[in-house]
Structure 1
Amino acid sequence: MKKLMMTFGGICLVIVALLGLQWGLMVSRNQQSSGKDTLTFYNWGDYIDPSILTDFTKETGYKVNYQTFDSNEAMYTKIQQGGTNFDLAVPSDYMVAKLKDAGLLAKLDKKQLTGMNNLNPQFLNQSFDRGNQYSIPYFWGTLGILYNKKEVNGSELTNWSALWSAKYRNQVLLVDSARDILGMTLISQGKSVNDQNVADLAAAQGKLSSLMPNVKAIVGDELKLYMAQGEGSLAVTYSGEAKNAMERNPDLAYTVPEDGSNLWLDNLVIPKSAEHKQAAYALMNYLNRPDVAAKNAQYIGYATANKAAYERLPKSVQNDKAFYPKQSVLDRLQVYQNFDQHWTQLYNDAFLEFKLGKS
Structure 2
Amino acid sequence: MQFEALKVFCDVARNQSFSRAADANQISQSAVSQIVNQLEKRLGVQLVDRSRRPLQLTHSGRAYFDGCKKLVEQYLEVEASIRNGNGNGNGRHLDASIRVAAIYSVGLRDMSQYVQRFVAQQPGAQIEIEYLHPDRVTERVLDGTADFGLISFPEPTRKLVAVPWREEEMVVACAPSHPFVAEGRVKVAQLNGLKYVGFDRDLVIRRKVDRFLRDHGVAVQGVLEFDNVENIKQAIEINAGVALLPLPALQREVRDGTIAAVPLRDARFVRPLGILHRRNPKPSPNAQRFIELLRQPDDPITEDQPVSGLYAAGHKTPPPPSKLASRGNGK
TM-score by length of 1: 0.54
1:326 pairs with 2:318: yes
1:237-290 CA-partner distances (Å, limit 9, x unpaired): 332343343244x16321232332431121234422456531122212333456
1:173 is aligned with what amino acid? V
Pick closer, same or farther for the CA change 1:241–1:61 going to 2, 3 Å. closer
**In 1, are the aligned partners of 2:169 and 2:268 still within 8 Å (CA)?**
yes
> Sequence identity of aligned pairs in percent?
8
Question: Are the counterparts in 1 of residues 184 and 262 from structure 2 also a CA contact under 8 Å?
Answer: no
Matched, 1:57 2:119: yes
CA distance in 2, matches of 1:157, 1:327: 13
Q: Residues 78 and 38 of structure 1: is their aligned pair in 2 closer, same or farther, counting only changes over 3 Å?
A: closer
User: Partners in 2 of 1:255 and 1:247 — Cα distance?
Assistant: 14
- 3-state DSSP of counterpart to 1:331: coil
Alpha-carbon separation, structure 2, partners of 1:338 and 1:287: 20
Instruction: List runs of 5+ in structure 1 lacking aligned partners.
Output: 1-22, 106-133, 190-206, 299-309, 340-359
Given residue 72 of structure 1, which amino acid in structure 2 is its aligned partner? P
Aligned counterpart, 1:348: none
The answer to whether residue 182 in structure 2 is matched with residue 182 in structure 1 is: no
**Structure-1 residue corresponding to 2:48:** none
1:162 Cα deviation from its structure 2 partner: 0.9
* Structure having the larger proportion of residues in helix: 1
- Measure how far apart 1:220 and its partner are: 4.2
SS in 1 for 2:306: helix
- Structure-to-structure mapping, 1:98-117, within 5 angstroms: 100-105=156-161
Contact 1:270 1:280 in 2 (8 A): no
**2:175 equivalent in structure 1:** 148
Give the equivalent residue in structure 2 for 1:73. Answer: 135
1:337 paired to 2:328: yes
Q: Do the aligned partners of residues 180 and 152 (structure 1) sit closer, same or farther apart at CA in structure 2, a change above 3 Å counting?
A: farther
What 5-or-longer segments of structure 2 have no aligned partner?
Answer: 11-68, 75-95
Paired AA for residue 28 in structure 1 = A
The corresponding residue for 2:58 is: none
Q: How does 1:102-141 map to 2 (within 5 A)?
A: 102-105=158-161, 135-137=163-165, 139-141=166-168
> Is the Cα contact below 8 Å between 1:174 and 1:237 reproduced in 2?
no
Q: Out of 27-36 and 216-225, give the one that drifted further.
A: 27-36
Q: Aligned equivalents of 2:184 and 2:6: distance in 1?
A: 63
* In structure 1, distance between residues paired with 2:160 and 2:101: 14
- Verify the 8 A CA contact 1:143 1:256 in the aligned structure 2: yes
Cα deviation 1:96-149 (Å, max 9, x = unaligned): x2xx222323xxxxxxxxxxxxxxxxxxxxxxxxxxxx5141x43133311234
The CA distance in 2 between the partners of 1:327 and 1:318, in whole Å, is 12
2:153 is aligned with 1:162: no
Shift of 1:75: 1.7
Residue of structure 2 in register with 1:91 after alignment: 151
SS at match of 1:232: coil
Bigger Rg, which one:
1
The match for 1:243 is 251
Residue 338 of structure 1 deviates from its aligned partner by 5.4
Deviations 1:277-326 (A, max 9, x none): 31122212333456xx45xx14xxxxxxxxxxx5xx35x51434749953
- Gap change, CA 1:322 and 1:151, over 3 Å in 2: closer
Q: Alpha carbons of 1:225 and 1:187: their partners in 2 closer, same or farther (altered >3 Å)? A: same
Query: Residues 91 and 217 from structure 1, CA distance in 2 versus in 1: closer, same or farther, beyond 3 angstroms?
Result: closer
Q: For 1:158, what is the secondary structure of its paired residue?
A: coil
**How many residues are treated as equivalent by the alignment?**
235
TM-score normalised by length of structure 2: 0.58
Counterpart Cα distance in 2 of 1:235 and 1:320: 20
SS of match in other structure, 2:287: helix
1: distance between equivalents of 2:113 and 2:192?
45
Instruction: Report if the CA contact (8 A) 1:175-1:219 is conserved.
Output: yes
Q: Which residue of structure 1 aligns with residue 236 of structure 2? A: 227
Residue 256 of structure 1 corresponds to which residue in structure 2?
263
Paired residues of 1:87 and 1:280 also in contact (CA < 8 A) = yes
Per-residue CA deviations over 1:67-122 (Å, capped at 9, x if unaligned) read 42423322223333x252x33322323x3x2xx222323xxxxxxxxxxxxxxxxx
Q: CA RMSD in A?
A: 3.5
Q: Deviation at 1:334? A: 0.6
Q: Measure the CA separation in 2 of the matches of 1:216 and 1:236.
A: 14
Matched residues in 2 for 1:44 and 1:217: separation? 20
